[in-house]
Structure 1
Amino acid sequence: MAINENNDTVIEKNAFMNVHFNLLYINDQNLMCDCDVMWFVYVRHDKPFRTQGGKCSKNNKTLSELVPRDFDCIDNVASIRSCNVSQSVDLSCEYNYLTTNLTRWIHSRSGILIREMNIDFVDKDTNTLHFSFCDHDDSGEYTCMLETDYSLLPSINISVHLIVNGLPVVLNRHTEEKGDDLILSVMFYSIPYDFIIEWLQGPDNLNEDPQYSILVNNMTVKLKQYNVDVTTDGFISNLTIHNFRRRPSDVYSCRISNVYEEVVEQFILGPATLELERRAYCDTSNSIELNCTLQLVGATPVSWIHSIAGETIRSLQGRHVNTSNILTIPFCNSQDTGDYTCRWKTDILGQTIMEKSTTLSVSGPPFFISQFTTVDGGDTVFSVTFFSKPYPNDPRWYFNNEPVALGAKFQQTTSYTIVQIRQHRVLVNVEGFISNLTVHKAAYGLYKCVILNSFGEVKHLFVIKQEHNTFSISTTEATTSSETTENSVTVIIAISSSVLGVVIVVICIIIFIRRISPKTSDKYNSTMPTR
């Protein structure tokens, strides 16, 4: 029997089950000996045979010398998938050589575990991991872990690298005085790696000005993905201002652009440098401190400003500790998302203000904004708008608690939309989602929409019922979130405390009455006339 190993050769698992041979001729001298020959070794390892010609390039073994443990079947070069921010992508997990069962998908970056994927993101029939809306947080390596019923090869891992393309992301910046020079630095990452850097003072481009030096270097940058600290390949751009002299309100800008979009990082150089991290991250129910530092004698902090899309939400008082103005946000929730501007007075009259902003991103379970139903001829359309950070999985629709089968009867669409949410009593417009289920000739019963992200899920119910020969639709939100639970517990505790207080007061009154009753009786008896 002879075999040629090339890129077109696929050895199926039943190819050698009933073939009897003693000698195998190998025409190629250097064999890949990868998982394509796994089934051959699996079914023949206990049946002696010899080979003529050909050895495995990675371990110099002949095919007859191989044993199943020589095959780790982990992709030596993981496949690469890419998607653009806000687009969908599927990561497949295919293995055709052994019967396998999926145990889990995990997400990591640079060897650091970020999260174990929720099984609801996975198609159980194909082991495919589905992302409805790609985000920068989703970049990294995804490993599909499979288990087998073969004792010599109990598990198989298949890896996929996911690259998410989008606008450049500024991670941090700082200033440094070096002799008579001032260096402005911006740390960022950009996928794709092709980008253009421009430094400006006001409207003037400084890239060719001899008074300035501009450098761009590779560096390892730190970032957070789903609130986990990881590192990745990034960049730093430095603008050196030679013979720098401080002047009030000097404004320098670093403009970074790629094929998707551009971002502008601005430096306002006052009498001193204000230090504040460019980005901050928090999960719901956790707390965070924003620390803003100014090394300037006589400077005093004023209130922080919380805003979103340029609209002021609230004014917040920080703690003044030495040269720092520290703002604590206890128990983050979605209402805390936005820009926080740290401000300092730099003169006695308070007419000169230095300020710098950081962007706080809060991740948590999704929540519904609104729902509505429309009837158009024979079609009924159930719609929900919702907000989710991070991006959600595809909404799931059910009829009488069974997943709907999309086709002529049921049609589903999900897309972006602008939604209005309340942030600390201020209504603001943000990017959200709308999901529609169109039902042709809708039957009576319960229709349910389930929204899921990596932090939790919410459900909304639509009920079609018949009352007195009248067609009616009612809706209700059926969800239990940590916030709701905490609020309920707070109410219960408050009610319990009130009831307990009333009970204690009643008991005290009863005891008091009982104590004074004998004395009153004795006094009354002593005044009674005797006969």
Structure 2
Amino acid sequence: NNITYIKKMLCAFAKVEGLNLNNNQISWTIEDTNGVFQGLGDLVKFHLSGNKIKSISADAFVGLKNVTYLNLGNNNITSIQNNAFSEVPLLKDLIINTTSLLCDCNLRWFVDWLNLKQLKLQAAICSYPDGLRGQSVVEVTKNLTCDELPKLRLIEEPDPEIMALKGENITLNCKAISSSPGAMTFLWKKDNIELLNPNVIVKSRTDPDGKSTETSSVLNLIHVEHSHAGKYQCVVSNSFGTTYSQKSAISVLVYPTFIKMPKNVTVRAGETVKLECAANGEPTPEIAWHKDGGNDFPAARERRMQVMPHDDVFFIVNAKPIDMGVYSCTAHNPAGIVVANASLTVQEKPSFIKAMEDKEFAAGEDMVLPCLAKGLPKPTITWLKDGETIVRTERHFFIHEDQLLIIVDSVKTDSGVYECHLNNSLGEKVGQSRIIVKQTTYDTSNMMGIIIITVVCCAVLTSIIWVVIIYQTRKRMSPPVIQTEMQELPDMTETTRAHQLQLHLCPDNISDHSSSKDSGTGDSAKRSNDDLGPEEFTMIINGDVAMEMNNSHVPLLLYPRSTNHDRFVSVEVSASETPPKDV
């Protein structure tokens, strides 16, 4: 056989009690793998002779809990990691025949374990250090020291993870140091398989003091393809053993590219929307959907959206106008992101947001008739009255995209049936409203007469008020009336009675006569009063006695003059007349 690598034992070997893998090339499986043999729970005897094994890792025999016999003969083993056989608790027979053991302090545990298990080795001979060369490891327990390090030690390893775009160049570095002057051998593995003819540059240098040697190996990957992806490992060997670097996982990234792109979709309300999107890339891109640049999907809130996890199709059931927008399909991987957009349009038959209603208006009132419409495409609106199209006039206006009809200063002839016609590519909808304009008890033609009558009434009322005010004012300002009671006069001549009566009634006249005489003007100033006609008058004094006056030169009525005294009315009675009786 020529087995070079074992990834994992199959469950089909679970009941195997004996396994012979002699004379293969599975050294890497023992040197640098973990739990490869875990499936061999019933294995008792295990043969690994002649596999070019140089070192035994700590986890090489995990799962072999029932093994009692282990043959590692004919392998040039140089080192055994600490507790490498702790996973084989029933081991009784161990065969190791090597002359290349590195007998330093790191091997002390192995000697102690052999003594504990009381196992005897046929040949486990030291090769280093020089003072122990040729001696059995069991015999040199006290001299196991770590003064020198001839075994390889890595001082630089490849990065654990590298990502590169397809077509780029990648460089992996591996550097080791050893106190042994012997040459170092580098090899590179990919997925535990040795690379053949790799592009490698090896450089080596020795310290000036000559105590250590440092060697580096650089692996160049040019214009990487997807086939370059995998786990790379550096393996360094010399005469004292083999050292494995950590594995470097290289990912060759391929920028996402769409193989299915969403397209613009137009559907009617209530139908199902289907959007497709798929992309290739390395690693496989993740697909995500967005609406109008965000994550708010009305269809998702209403449970009308369906997205299959491993499908390329995106569904919206029972499409509604609120679902309209720009839907973005995003394909993303570590290499980058690409986006494809598609518009969704949901068409809807025209309809009324609110049904039209019958209305009544008073004449002269402004009429507002609403026709609130919806639909996609946006419906056109046409107004009719009694079957005839309404056009714009000085009284007819259309606003809010013709959804409101306004008629100012309505008149009775505006009554009728008003229709609103909605039209788009999906159909037509008609609404109507019966309008009645009622005539008021008065119209504008009578308004002027009413205003005139009102003004006249106000003027008359104002005049009456002023007359009353003036009358009251004059009444308060007029002089008091002096009522004179005629007293009983003693027997005297008629001339004397008349004279006394004149003195009693008109004292001012008497003084005037005398003053006029004294002034030399005579009674010329009083003569004008004598011009009154010789007519007969009846004078009532205290409402009891009436006196009749006939022609006489004595004035019947004297008008007072304005003096510094109060005004009085003087009455003179002619002496020739006989005074009335019972006065």
TM tier, shorter chain? Answer: under 0.3
Query: Under a length normalisation based on structure 1, what TM-score does the superposition of the two structures give?
Result: 0.27
Q: Which has the larger radius of gyration?
A: 2
Query: Under a length normalisation based on structure 2, what TM-score does the superposition of the two structures give?
Result: 0.25
From the two aligned structures, give the one with the greater strand fraction: 1
| Larger relative contact order, structure 1 or 2 (CA cutoff 8 Å, min sep 6) | 1
